[in-house]
Copies of this chain bind each other. A is one copy, B any other.
Amino acid sequence: MITMPSTSLLLAWQLKGKRVLIVGGGDVASGRLESVLAAEAVVTLISPRHGLHPKTLNLFEQHPNIILYHDRDFSGAQDLEGVDMVLTAIDDPNTSRYISNLARERHIPVNVADIPHLCDFYFGSQIQRGNLQILISTNGQSPKLANIIKKQIESNLPESTPKAIENVGLLRAKLRERAPGIGGDVGKKRMRWMIDVCNKWSLDDLALLDDRGIERMLDLGWEKETVISTSEAGIPHFFHFKFPEYTLPAAAGFFAGSIMICLVVFARQRR
């Protein structure tokens, strides 16, 4: 029987300072370990030493104070104490099911590699560039295709994007200092203005903002309930011009067409 998975809710999980338990130390476990370390989690890893992949050992060396390692098999409910998330990547389906059940009874989110129905969440292919993170999930249908689609998206992503995000984040933080308060009318006004900025300015322009530009946007824009132009913010104009993508093929075609007619005319004249 082929059952189709249901739609997931894709979320950006905050693991900073949270304790993640990883059961297993092989190739898949090393990938999990890498992901949660990037999110600044505190990790406990349980696996007999002979099962450790070189990549896992490598991560141990790089993060000696963040990973607590136990050289043994999973030993039961006591291993789940104080744990905020459980990831297992072992070759034993029965132990996997046992761990998953224990975690679920305790309301601890759990992922069991390769056994979807024991998982509260799935991993996918992830792009990370500065504060920009993109998750590509095929709902468990094909991790490899997720990876291929990830590469396509990565190659199309404008280089300016991470810098644009950083600058908008700074602008937003400075705006919050100028007009503080959570929610309510000021919150709505801030949100409205930030949306106007992002709609009026391109990603490339936002990436070129500097501290002075940010101050100008606030002084001459926010304070006067408008959004200033790039030149008013002090972004030089020559940065602006970009050849459109089709310039090169069009020029090559133009050149080829010219040459061809020249040759035709030349051939006719020689006759």
Residues in chain A within 8 A of chain B (CB atoms)? 2, 4-16, 35-36, 38-41, 84, 91-93, 106-109, 114-115, 119-124, 126, 128, 131-139, 141-142, 144-145, 148-149, 152-153, 156-158, 161, 164-166, 168-170, 172-174, 182-184, 187, 194-195, 198-199, 203, 206, 246-262, 265
Contacts and interface: CB of A to CB of B under 8 A. Distances in A.
Given A9-B12, A12-B135, A250-B253, 19 more contacts: A4-B131, A6-B40, A8-B13, A9-B41, A10-B12, A12-B121, A12-B137, A109-B109, A134-B136, A135-B137, A142-B194, A144-B199, A145-B168, A148-B198, A153-B153, A246-B249, A250-B250, A254-B260, A257-B261
A152 B4 CA distance: 29
B253 A198 contact: no
Contacts of A184: 91
Contact of A93 (B138, B183, B247, B265): B183
Contacts of A14: 6, 8, 119-122
Contacts of A206: 145
A7 B133 contact: yes
Contacts of A109: 109
A187 B205 CA distance: 49
Contacts of A152: 156, 158
Contacts of A254: 253-254, 256-257, 260
12 contacts: A2-B174, A9-B35, A10-B134, A12-B135, A14-B121, A84-B107, A107-B107, A109-B109, A141-B168, A145-B198, A149-B157, A246-B248
A79 B55 CA distance: 45
Contact of A144 (B170, B195, B248): B195
A48 to B, nearest CB: 16
A253 B262 CA distance: 15
Contacts of A132: 136-139, 149
Contacts of A13: 8-11, 120-121
A139 B145 contact: no
Contact of A139 (B133, B156, B248): B133
A199 B172 CA distance: 43
